[in-house]
Amino acid sequence: MVDLNKNLSFVSKTYLYPKIEQACLDFQKNNPNKKIYNLGVGDISLPLPSSVQEGIINGVKEMGTRPIGYGPPEGYLFLREKIQEVFYQNTPIAIKDIIITDGINGSICAIDTLLEKNHHTVAIMDPAYPLYRDLSTLSGRKIISLPLEEKNHFIPIPPKERVDFVYLCSPMNPTGTAMTRDALRMWVDWAKKHQALIFFDAAYNGFIRSSDVPKTIYEIEGAQDVAIEFCSFSKAFGFTGLRLGYTIIPQSIRGFLQKESVDFQSVWNIDQNIRENGISYPIQKGGYSALQPEGLKAAKEQLDKYLKSASSIKQTLENQGFCCFGGTDCPFVFCKIAGSSWDFFNKLLHEYQILTIPGQGFGKYGEGFVRLSGFLSPKDLPEVLEQLRKIEVITCAMN
Ligand code: PLP
C-alpha cells in the first residue's frame, strides 16, 4: 500500500458540491412529486451554437481526409492568433504568450505543480471558487484569507503579511461582483512592490458589460510583469462539456529554478510535455469558429440571456425586500439573508423548492448570503420568478 497525500483529508470532507447534490437527492427522495427550481447551477443551460458545431464537425471531417495527430503542446497557431486578435489587441500580450488548455481548473492545477510545495504563502479571497483553497490545502501551502465584505464592495484588500502569490478572480464567483480598473491597478501595484505573483481567474470575462471593469488584467499597465491570466471557453462560449481554455503566461514572468532565474513559460512547457499531448484538434477548430463574427454574435446573445435571468432574479428579490449584489457583469446574484446560509439554503429548498448555494460553502465570509445563478434556460425564468415571489420576506429577508 502507498501513503496518500495527508492533506486530502482536509479537503474531501468539506467539498461543497457533493453536499448540495446530496441535499437535493434527499429532498427528491422524500418529495418525489415536487419540482426543484434549480438556481444553484453554475453550468450552462443553452445549446452549443450551430457555427461552433460546424467548426467541430469540419475539424473531424478534416481528420478523415489527412492524418492529424498530436498537436503542438501550446495549441494550434490558428487559435492562438485568433485569441490574440479578438481579446488582446490593445494589450502587451503577444501570440507567444498564449497557451491553449483544456480549461481553467486543469491549468490552475498545472501551475500549482510548478511551484515549490510547502514553503509558499498564498492569499485567497473569501468567499471564492473552492478550487484555490482546496488545491493550496492539498499542496500544503500557508493560506492567508482576503475577506470579501459588503463594506468594501466585495473588493479584496491586499494583505499586510508577506505572500508569494494571490488568486484573484473577476468577475467573481460567488459574489457576482467585479473588480474595477482602479481595484485591479491597486493589486498590480501591490504585486510589483512585493514581488508577488497574481493568478488571475477570468472565467466570467465574457459577461462584463460595465465600462470600468477590465476584460483582462493586461489592460492594467505593468500587469504583464506580475500576472498570469486563466481564461476559458466554458462559460463565455458554452464549452463546459467540450473543455477548452487558454492561459496567458507573459514572457516577462520569471521564477527561480535551483536559484537560477528562468521564464515561467519554459517551465510550463516542460511540465506540459510530460503531462499531456495537447488539446484535440476538432475542439480547437470549434474554438476558432466561436471567435469568428458569427460565433461571437451567438455567444453574446447567449450571455445576454443569462445576464437577463440574473438581473430579473435580482430585481425580483429586491422587490421582495432583499439586498442583493452582482448580476450585472456576472450571472451570479449574491443575496444577503438573516442568519446561517446553510439554514436559509435548507429553508428555501424545503419550503419553496428553490435550490441555491449557501455562501458559507465558499468560505467563512460567505456566511449570511446565498448565491443564485442566472444560468437557467430562459423558458424556465417566468416560473422561477413566480416561485421567488412566494418567499416570505418577513421571516427571511434582511436589509
Ligand atoms: N473559475 C471559476 C471562478 C469558476 O466558477 C469555474 C467554474 O465554475 C471555473 C474556473 C472552471 O472553469 P473551466 O471550465 O475552464 O475549468
Amino acid 117: pLDDT: 79
Q: Is 111 left (phi over 0), alpha (psi -120 to 50) or beta?
A: alpha
- Matching residue, cell 444560468: 375
C-alpha span between 339 and 43 (Å, rounded): 28
Residue 105 Cβ < 6 Å to ligand 1? yes
CA distances from 395 to 28, 36, 321 (A): 25, 21, 11
Residue 44 Cβ < 6 Å to ligand 1? no
Amino acid 397: pLDDT: 47
* Residue closest to 284 by CA, chosen among 58, 64, 49: 58
Residue 244 Cα, ligand 1 centroid: separation in angstroms?
11
Atom in ligand 1 nearest the alpha carbon of residue 103: 15
Residue 1 Cα, ligand 1 centroid: separation in angstroms?
34
Amino acid 274: pLDDT: 87
Q: Which of 134, 173, 330 to mutate to test the pocket of ligand 1 (most atoms within 8 A of CB)?
A: 173
Which set of grid coordinates corresponds to residue 80?
A: 492562438
Q: What tens digit of pLDDT does each residue of 101-154 get?
A: 999 999 999 999 999 876 799 999 999 999 999 999 999 999 999 999 999 999
Residue 108 Cβ < 6 Å to ligand 1? no
Residue 173 Cβ < 6 Å to ligand 1? yes
Give the residues of the chain that fall short of pLDDT 70: 12-14, 118, 393-399
Q: Which parts of the chain are beta strand (E)?
A: 37-38, 98-101, 121-126, 142-147, 165-169, 197-201, 227-232, 245-248, 254-257, 260-263, 323-326, 332-336, 354-355, 357-358, 369-373
Residue 104 Cα, ligand 1 centroid: separation in angstroms?
6
C-alpha span between 16 and 127 (Å, rounded): 12
Residue 109 Cβ < 6 Å to ligand 1? no
Q: What is the pTM of this model?
A: 0.96
Instruction: Decide: 120 and 164 in contact? Cβ < 8 Å.
Output: yes
Residue 42 Cβ < 6 Å to ligand 1? yes
Amino acid 64: pLDDT: 98
Residue 171 Cα, ligand 1 centroid: separation in angstroms?
11
Amino acid 18: pLDDT: 86
